[in-house]
Amino acid sequence: MKLPLSFYQRNDVVTISRELLGKYLFTCINGEVTGGYIVETEAYNGVVDRASHAFENRLTPRTKVMYMNGGVAYVYLCYGIHEMFNVVTSVEGHPHAILIRAIHPTDGLEVMQYRRKMTEVKRTITSGPGSVAQALGISRQINAINLQSDTLWIEDRGMVIPDEQIAAVPRVGVAYAKQDALLPYRFYVKGDRFVSSPNK
C-alpha cells in the first residue's frame, strides 16, 4: 500500500525520516519496476537548518520544489555528476526534505545492475544517494513528481525496524553547516550491508 499524503504532510521531518526506514521505495521507468526497502535517510529541517538548501528561506528555481506540499520528489544534481532523490515533507511553504541515502535492493536487480554497470549485486549498488538514484532510474526529469504516481512511490509493507537497530548520527558532507552539522539527523539500519560509509 502506497504511503498516503498524510504521512508526508506532517511537520516533524526528523520523525518522518526515521519512520521511512523499512518502507519500500519503487520506480517504474520504461515499464521496468525496481526498488527495495529504505535503510538510510537524512532529514533537512527547512529554513532553520544551515545544511538545508532552503536555509533562511532560500527560494531558487532549484529549491522551489521543496516549498510544495509534502509527498513529492525533489531531485537535484550534486557536484555536476550525481542525481539525488529527496522526499519533500510538511505543507506548502515549509521546505522540509529527506534525502534517501541507501536502500536494500529487492526488486528488479538485473535492471539495477545494468544501470549501475555491475555484473553482480555488490553492496555499492544502492549504497549512497547517487547510487540509489542511478539504480532506480531517478533523474531530474521526474523532479516534483507526486509520490502517489505509478512512476515513483513508497509503500508500507509492514516491516518494523526496532529502535535498538536504528542509529541516529550526524549527516554526511555538511561541515559547512557548522553547529547544525552535528545534529543527529542521519538514520540508518545497523548492520545492513547497503548502508553507505561511514557507518560506524
pTM of the full structure: 0.96
Assess whether pLDDT exceeds 60 at residue 73: yes
Quote helix, strand, coil % in the chain, to nearest 5: 30, 30, 40
Which three cell numbers, joined as nine digits, stand for 97? 526534505
CA 88 to chain centre: 9
Q: What tens digit of pLDDT does each residue of 162-193 get?
A: 999 999 999 998 989 999 999 999 999 999 99
**5-189 fold:** 3-methyladenine DNA Glycosylase; Chain A (3.10.300)
Q: What tens digit of pLDDT does each residue of 19-42 get?
A: 999 999 999 999 999 999 999 999
What percent of the chain clears pLDDT 70, i.e. is strictly above it? 98
